[in-house]
A and B are shown apart, each in its own frame.
Chain A
Amino acid sequence: MSEGIHQASRTVGKESKPAASERPGAAAAPRALRCSAKGIQKSFGATTILRGVDLQIPEGSFAVLVGPSGCGKSTLLRLVAGLEMADAGTITLAGKDVTKLPPRDRDIAMVFQSYALYPHLTVRENLAFGLELRKTPKNEIAERIKEASAMLGLDKLLDRLPKQMSGGQRQRVAMGRAIVRRPNLFLFDEPLSNLDAALRAEVRVDIRRLHDRLGATTLYVTHDQVEAMTLADTLWVLNGGLVEQKGPPLEIYERPKTRFVATFLGSPQMNMLDGILAKESGRFYAEGGGLRALVDEDRFGSALEDGRAVSIGVRPHDLGLAKDGVPPAGELKVELVEMLGSEAFAHGWLRQSAPSIIARLDADDARALSPGRAVPLAVAPSRVHLFDPASGRSLAE
């Protein structure tokens, strides 16, 4: 599948688009917005799905909406597509207010979770469908299908019906159908969830590669954090109908603004322990559930107060064996060890009756462990996250 993408060398994006290789982070000047939404609200009957969401997608950027089921991410996507109409708020596409326009007047393309190919049409007819509706000249349709199918490795499948193809092949046709349209905006609605794990990883890479080649502005919905982390230029974390946090994926991963974002991203989940701040010899320690970790004062600044109740968050990957005289932040009583080959996850607790936590260990270190043993754990101060227990907001400003 990926060979198909390597073979194609031409750019299929709109002429006006910036060079595809440019990543938004590297761009010096802020780019024009291709799509934006302001104050979007949407309810279905008594159920409120979106409570005032803002969204900005710059030209050529890859935005990913992520969140748990029911957070409203798919609804937001469908609102942008025009398949649903917003109760309040405005949606702008390429500088035009499209809030009230039907999908056909928005010039967007969408890849559905179930692919949604036309079952009675061949691959070629599926690809041509949208172009024929737009009265694109015949030779241009043929040209575009040739390009897209070369790019996706569909050349040999053009005369097949959807039911004669595998899931991965159908997925590529669905993408091809979007590509040939050269739309203002590509929408992806959990496009990989029907594929098996191996194929999913492969197609994920292909999608990002395609995006880079075409410079296509993309809005992508997923509940899979790996997809979210790997694909996004800008990640939008939705929760309960609101944007919880937005930004480059790494920034969100490293500096989650709320306890929800912190626990939602990252696998296994971030360990959360209730505790207090303690000032000792001029330095702040977060103490709780058997953990006693030094805190990065630069990051939290004035929020640090002696005796303040906090939620302490540490990712399993940031908890390591305390070696070479590093003072341990706690001692893990091992209950269970999950060996993954290159690494291992040790489950256990730091103090009797404290919440269970997980620590990532190197495989070599984990080999010696067995349930019932206790090992000293260490954590770097910059990796300790602190949240207000009541509001769930990060103590960092």
Chain B
Amino acid sequence: MRKLAFAVLAALAVLLVLLPGCGEAPSGIVVWHAYRGGEQKALEEIASRWSRESGVKVTTLAVPYDAYAAKLEAAIPRGNGPDVFVSPHERLGSYRQNGLVAPVGDALPESETASYEPVALDAISADGERWAVPLATKCVALYMNEALLGEKAPATLEELLAAKSRLPAGVLPLAYEAQSPYFHAALLHAYGGKLFDGTTFAMVGPEAERAATRLRELATTGMIPPDASGDDVKRLFVSGKAASVISGPWLASDLGTRVPYVVVPLPAVEGAGKMKPYLTVDGAFLTPTGAKRTEARSFARELASLDAARTRAKVGAQVVASRAFWSERDAGTPLLRAFHDAAQDAVPMPSSVAMRATWVPAQQALLKVLRGDATPHDALEEAKARYDDIMRPPSPSPSPAPLVAVLGMALLALAIFAVRRVSAPGFRAELRASAPAYKYVLHAALTIFVLVVLPLVAGAATSFYAGTRDAFRFVGLENYVEILTARGKPLLSHGSFYFTLLVTVAWTIVNVTLHVAIGLVLGILLARPFLRLRAIYRVLLILPWAVPSYVTALAWKGMFHRQFGAINAILAAFGAEPVSWFSKFSTAFAANVATNVWLGFPFMMVVVMGALTSIPKDVLEAAEVDGATRWQSFKLVTLPLLRPTLLPAVVLGSVWTFNMFNVVFLVSGGEPDGTTDILVSEAYRWAFARNAQIGYAAAYSVIIFGLLALMSRVLGKIGGGSQEEAA
């Protein structure tokens, strides 16, 4: 009876899992977007209106922005995706590469091109085709504090900066994320430079150098903050410490009425041209299936219609890309108008996949220029070299023969070993005797195989491939050769495997030493029975361990902030100059270490406290009677007795620290110039920040795995040996 009930339940469970998969295809169309708030409301309003009129059901789905591209990539090829999706245009290259979009066809007929802003049309066009229906544009503009600067738009940058003399002391005339290439682009374009020319990194040459020189000037003359994040910019503006800032429409929603401001297009630069920011165009894209459906195409077209534009402008506060809308009298709010004006001069962001690899080298170069670590020429040339290095195509596929030979040899050796093992006397009897035991470990072995062994093998296999998705091919051991030869550069140059390894080893040694030292001292202090409030201290000291490490890492990053960080504030209280923590290797490394020590010492402390309780009290008393001072009894008795427990903890701690991605990535982020990156964060960058070179990153990972396996073995041997002797 019970068996039957169980079977029914199981069948139900299976059905529940399978049902959503075999549901009917929806008769209406599915629209994905990453909008929130007003923009989402506007979109849904338009959809339901169109649905009523056309009789076609529209399902809108809001997908979190961070996961948007990944979800599209996962869903569309499997047929679970939307028919229409709304996205910024700069991902077009990647969408096309992955086959996620199709030309829009009659959703944007030739006859209607005139009703769109030309710059927006330009952005969504590629290879003579239109790939989306332009909906709205986004670019940055100049926010001016009316109380400080009045509401008249400055004609030139110089005019704006000249206001400095009239501003109260300590107030910057201008603030923006100067180190970010996205913001620097406006200045770059003013001087006629380019970040990307369609095929390669283009922020080099005299124009780019002039723009960079100007940038450095702005920072050295105290016109702009040298290293401000988006949050800093906002804070400066709200607090009145910056008279004007360059930012996008998103800032307006954060400002409210806290500060009186007016938005105007970016000014021109004397002796150069107008500052032209990058323009992003939100478009309605059609997936390959969606493009075949009339309903989907007509909904995309409807989204861009004048009616819809009005709704989007009014409800969603979008700077719509419809010319018809703007030709109306008093169209939009003054704020929207200002951004619309600003968009007129803007440069559409290149949508090529290769463009994405420009950001990191460009930002590193700008940071160097801002800090004066390198001349504009050198910094930009270095950025170009880095870009080229990242984008270097893998060498032609070598013959897989050597690798096959190596693998074959390994398999042969394994087979020989297995045969010898099986043919050993008594093996069968042993196997038979232990057969029942296999039943008990089978599920665990399977789980380990699926969750640990398979990914490991898959990862190792990936390391024999190179290139990004479009050109993913077998290269044998080339990734390893590249890594181990430092990509043909000097062995200890910045970013080379050996340099990173050296940093990683130093990072591990310094951290683990401090973990153990602090853990020992605190563990021993807390073990003293006469310490008052011991329980409270213990909880307080274990607390850093209980907080998720990324939260701690972000908190520490904030504390090390040059302008607003607590640490500089404390230093300032003692009259010290503020330290720019992430601009020098030594201070950035120290900041990382401080964070990781904070995270890591509680573990060692707990281990020490546990180990201390296992040391019999009378052994210590015997030492005391034997004439040992407190220090002698610690050195000669306590410490040797802690060793067997501490060593495995040190091995574990070393492995964790060696791979402590969170802290390095979140605190220094590799600053300055990638020098504080450790092997794992470097591997991460190859996989996710440098043109998605998954194979290369996999090779890094395999090398890290090998190093750690070796280290654990060596340390474990030391630990095992001493345990024999001391336990």
Contacts and interface: CB of A to CB of B under 8 A. Distances in A.
Contacts of A181: 626
Given A83-B621, A133-B632, A116 B616 contact: yes
B618 interface: yes
Contacts of B663: none
A118 B628 contact: no
Interface in B136-159: none
Contacts, number: 67
B626 A130 contact: yes
Contact of A129 (B616, B618, B621, B623): B623
Contact of A108 (B625, B628, B637, B643): B625
Given A109-B625, A116-B618, 16 more contacts: A82-B625, A83-B621, A83-B624, A104-B626, A110-B625, A117-B619, A118-B619, A118-B622, A119-B726, A120-B640, A130-B625, A130-B626, A130-B627, A133-B627, A134-B627, A161-B725
A177 B619 CA distance: 13
Taking each of B621, B628, B637, which has the highest tally of chain A beta carbons within 10 Å of its own beta carbon?
B621
A81 B624 CA distance: 10
Nearest to B726: A120
A120 B725 contact: yes
Interface string B603-637: 00000000000001011011111111100100011
B641 interface: yes
A347 to B, nearest CB: 41
B632 A110 contact: no
B117 to A, nearest CB: 80
Interface residues of B, number: 21
Nearest to A106: B625
A81 B616 CA distance: 18
Contacts of A119: 619, 641, 726-727
B626 A133 contact: yes
A114 interface: yes
Contacts of B628: 104, 133
Contacts of B643: 120
Nearest to A162: B619
A181 B727 CA distance: 27
Taking each of B619, B622, B641, B725, which has the highest tally of chain A beta carbons within 10 Å of its own beta carbon?
B622
Contacts of A108: 625
Given A119-B726, A133-B628, A112 B621 contact: yes
Interface of A: 81-83, 102-104, 108-110, 112-114, 116-120, 129-130, 133-134, 161, 163, 177, 181, 187
Given A119-B641, A120-B725, A133-B632, A83 B625 contact: yes
Nearest to B640: A120
Contacts of A112: 618, 621-622
20 contacts: A82-B624, A82-B625, A83-B624, A103-B624, A104-B626, A104-B629, A109-B626, A112-B622, A114-B618, A116-B622, A118-B619, A119-B641, A120-B637, A120-B640, A120-B643, A130-B627, A133-B626, A133-B632, A134-B627, A163-B727
Given A133-B627, A133-B632, A161-B725, A118 B637 contact: yes
B642 to A, nearest CB: 10
Nearest to A129: B626
Interface of B: 616, 618-619, 621-629, 632, 636-637, 640-641, 643, 725-727
Contacts of B624: 82-83, 102-104
B725 A118 contact: no
A88 B340 CA distance: 91
A129 B725 CA distance: 17
Contact of A103 (B625, B637, B641, B725): B625
B357 to A, nearest CB: 57
Contacts of A103: 621, 624-625, 627
Contacts of A104: 624-629
Nearest to B722: A120
Taking each of A109, A117, A119, which has the highest tally of chain B beta carbons within 10 Å of its own beta carbon?
A119
A110 B726 contact: no
A120 B626 contact: no
A102 B621 CA distance: 11
Nearest to B641: A120
A51 B92 CA distance: 91
A120 B627 CA distance: 18
A116 to B, nearest CB: 4
A47 B290 CA distance: 86
A343 B640 CA distance: 54
A81 B622 CA distance: 10
A114 B616 contact: yes
B614 to A, nearest CB: 10
B623 A118 contact: yes
A130 B633 CA distance: 11
B677 to A, nearest CB: 41
A163 B393 CA distance: 64
A134 B632 CA distance: 12
B723 to A, nearest CB: 11
Nearest to B628: A133
Contacts of B727: 119, 163
A116 B627 contact: no
A118 B626 CA distance: 11
Contacts of A110: 621-622, 625
A181 B628 CA distance: 13
Contacts of B726: 119-120
A332 B621 CA distance: 53
A112 B628 CA distance: 17
A54 B286 CA distance: 101
A225 to B, nearest CB: 24
B504 to A, nearest CB: 33
Nearest to A111: B622
Contacts of A120: 637, 640-641, 643, 725-726
Taking each of A120, A129, A134, A161, which has the highest tally of chain B beta carbons within 10 Å of its own beta carbon?
A120
A83 to B, nearest CB: 5
Taking each of B619, B621, B623, B627, which has the highest tally of chain A beta carbons within 10 Å of its own beta carbon?
B627
B552 to A, nearest CB: 37
B169 to A, nearest CB: 64
Contacts of A116: 616, 618-619, 621-622
